[in-house]
Amino acid sequence: MSKKVYIESYGCQMNHSDSEIVASILAKDGYTTAATAEEADLVLLNTCSIREKAEYTVMQRINEMNALKAKKRGMKVGVLGCMAERMREDLLEKKKVVDLVVGPDAYRSLPLLLDEVESGQKAVNVLLSREETYAEIEPVRLDSNGVTAFVTIMRGCDNMCAFCVVPFTRGRERSRDPHSIVEECRQLVAKGYKEVTLLGQNVDSYKWTPKDPMANGSGATDFADLLSMVAEVSPALRVRYSTSHPKDMTDKVLAVMTRYANICKYVHLPVQSGSSDVLKRMNRGYSREWYLDRIASIRKHMPGAAISTDIITGFCGETEEDHQQTLSLMEEVRFDMAFMFKYSERPKTLAARKYPDDVPEEVKSRRLQEVIAKLNSTAGDLRRNAVGEERVVLVEGESKRSAEFMYGRDDQYTTVIVPRGSGATEIKAGDFVRVRILSGTSASLKGEVIAVIPHPAAMEPLSIA
């Protein structure tokens, strides 16, 4: 009888992609994936350390899994990912709450570690690697809608942003062989997938150099080159990517995005703060003026492109003037969407070592609410201004609110709700549809289906203002 593993993922898209790699490795060791923890022999929590709240949530979940473990003889509980690397001593030695702790670069060792667990030992491997990319492993698509998929193109991060723990938990940057990336995308197309998101902590620094350039027939491949290669896999494969870094985004990438109709005109460009002084303390490597120059270049290449961002309120030493500069930058750029958080000090980071966490919690919270309000205002205007426009939407599934409606995302990553229809006019997951927008809120759009089309390039140009 096969063993069953239940994998629960927290945090970024990279963690969800890693869970699919883990599922593939364990499948070769006789494990099938379970739909719930209750039916599993092995429960793995793939964790995030980016904020203190994320770690607190996982610790609560570990306690719940241990309560389940006490009722189910033989069940094992393990922790994977960034929190595993950062808190290995607490998890295994001090609190002794799990059987297994495995870091992001050690997933190939899972079968051997599980053998150790079966023999009654606690098992751990959190060694970081300068080479591991899991390039040849075909992921098991977990919780897949069969329409969209993540494809990891690189691992680690060399940017030592003062607030971020990722370089300590995921190691140095290394890029995956572009031909393995293209092959994975081809396999996804063959299986009926319609969209891929290329993942990396900083995709703009992707660079792969073959050991023998002459044998390969070319030199180094940068991110713009890779983006072209993936776009050419199929005109029916829509392509996204995440995440960009303002200091590294090039006009070459923007030119490639303009050239291909199936590359989404959407850029996630984290700013973190609108103040150059705060950005300098954050060690972000750019100023407010540099960031706005990158925004201007995006608008020049793709006037209708959507731009989203990340914003941290209350970073060390942030003054009220700094905060107002963030609000004014948001007003100038008019982001379509943002991930917004209060600053949370993380151990080992430059900020934890160098700067006092001196902004009071109530001030952080108030500033966060003002940032959220600003985003809701500008995003709401953008959505309402979309009324009457026509968009290409990739249908992903049934709306959570009503079985009579389907949801999908347009080129700009906005969620669009459309009627399901019936009979010959019924739309299904995986359809590209031409939609006329009828109404909008700060979070989504509603529209009517005009036609089903074969692929994103089948309707050009779009009527995006």
Nearest to 340 by CA among 307, 361, 309, 376: 309
Highest mean pLDDT among 85-99, 129-143, 248-262: 248-262
Q: Over 50: is that where the pLDDT of 74 sits?
A: yes
pLDDT at residue 462, rounded to an integer: 44
- State the average pLDDT over residues 421-450: 93
pLDDT at residue 284, rounded to an integer: 97
Q: What band does 269 get if pLDDT is binned at 50, 70 and 90? A: very high
pLDDT at residue 210, rounded to an integer: 84
- State the average pLDDT over residues 135-164: 93
Distance CA 426, CA 28 (A): 39
**Residues found in the chain:** 465
Q: Over 50: is that where the pLDDT of 102 sits?
A: yes
| H or E stretch covering 458 | none
Topology classification of domain 148-383: pyruvate-formate lyase- activating enzyme (3.80.30)
Are 439 and 386 spatial neighbours (Cβ–Cβ below 8 Å)?
no
Q: Over 60: is that where the pLDDT of 18 sits?
A: yes
Strand 221-222 and strand 207-208: the pairing is antiparallel
Q: Match 């096969």 to its residue by tokens.
A: 2
- For 97, other C-beta atoms within 10 Å of its C-beta total 15
Q: What band does 216 get if pLDDT is binned at 50, 70 and 90? A: low
Q: What band does 48 get if pLDDT is binned at 50, 70 and 90? A: confident
Q: Is the dihedral of CA 310, 313, 316, 318 positive or negative?
A: positive
Q: Match 């309707």 to its residue by tokens.
A: 459
Q: What band does 54 get if pLDDT is binned at 50, 70 and 90? A: confident
CB within 8 Å of 29: residues ≥ 6 apart = 110, 111, 114
Q: What band does 214 get if pLDDT is binned at 50, 70 and 90? A: low
Strand 123-125 and strand 100-102: the pairing is parallel
- State the average pLDDT over residues 395-420: 95
Q: What band does 120 get if pLDDT is binned at 50, 70 and 90? A: confident
Rounded to the nearest integer, the mean pLDDT of the chain is 92
Does pTM top 0.85 for this prediction? yes
- State the average pLDDT over residues 222-227: 98
Mind listing the pLDDT tens digit for each residue in 296-310? Answer: 999 999 999 999 999
Domain ranges of the chain: 3-125, 148-383, 390-458
Instruction: Looking at 96-241, list the stretches that DSSP marks H as alpha helix, in order from N- to C-terminal side.
Output: 110-118, 166-170, 178-190, 213-216, 223-231
Distance CA 424, CA 288 (A): 52
The CATH H-level superfamily of 390-458 is Nucleic acid-binding proteins (2.40.50.140)
- State the average pLDDT over residues 449-455: 90
- State the average pLDDT over residues 44-62: 87
The CATH H-level superfamily of 3-125 is Methylthiotransferase, N-terminal domain (3.40.50.12160)
Distance CA 320, CA 326 (A): 10
- State the average pLDDT over residues 139-145: 87
Contacts 24+ apart (CB under 8 A), 173-176: 173/201, 173/202, 173/205, 174/129, 174/130, 174/131, 174/132, 174/133, 175/133, 175/206, 175/207, 175/208, 176/133, 176/135, 176/152, 176/208
Are 87 and 55 spatial neighbours (Cβ–Cβ below 8 Å)?
yes
Distance CA 138, CA 462 (A): 35
